[in-house]
């Protein structure tokens, strides 16, 4: 499942990261991995901008603009708000 390429607002400040692994645990699309003492972004385009990683980072090393991505599109669609979900054919909405 992919979001639109090269538009995700996700940022990781590797200097602040303490390698706790919470981002890896809470991310629903396995965007993060903590192979050593610091997190790395494996596939930024898989991010749905839900904000779980940023909300659970104890040192504020992650930032993301929530409410603009695929997760919001799905929720708005289910609530009757319409609008595009992921924007790609075969994306998370199956369109």
pLDDT tens sequence across 33-76: 999 899 999 999 889 888 999 999 999 999 998 866 666 666 66
- Structural domain tally of the chain? 1
Q: Which domain holds residue 73?
A: 11-78
The answer to whether position 65 is within a domain reads yes
Is residue 63 in a domain? yes
CATH of the domain at 27: 3.30.70.20
Q: Which residue reads 């090269």 in tokens?
A: 6
Beta strand 40-41 pairing with 11-12: unpaired
pTM: 0.70
Residue 89, domain member (yes or no): no
Contacts of residue 14, Cβ cutoff 8 Å, sequence gap at least 6: 38, 39, 61
Q: Is residue 94 part of a domain?
A: no
Q: What is the token pair recorded at 32?
A: 């993060």
Q: Does 24 reside within a domain?
A: yes
In a domain, residue 2? The reply is no
User: Is 52 part of a structural domain of the chain?
Assistant: yes
In the three-class reduction of DSSP (H, G, I as helix; E, B as strand; rest coil), residue 62 is classed as strand
- Over residues 2-26, the pLDDT tens digits come to 556 677 899 999 999 999 999 999 9
């Amino acid at each position: 499942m992919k979001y639109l390429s090269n538009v995700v607002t996700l940022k990781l400040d590797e200097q602040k990261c303490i390698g706790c692994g919470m981002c890896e645990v809470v991310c629903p699309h396995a965007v993060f991995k903590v192979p050593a003492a610091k997190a790395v972004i494996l596939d930024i385009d898989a991010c749905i901008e839900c904000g779980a990683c940023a909300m659970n980072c104890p040192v504020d090393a992650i930032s993301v603009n929530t409410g603009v991505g695929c997760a919001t599109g799905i929720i708005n669609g289910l609530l009757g708000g319409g609008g595009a979900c992921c924007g790609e054919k075969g994306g998370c909405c199956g369109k």
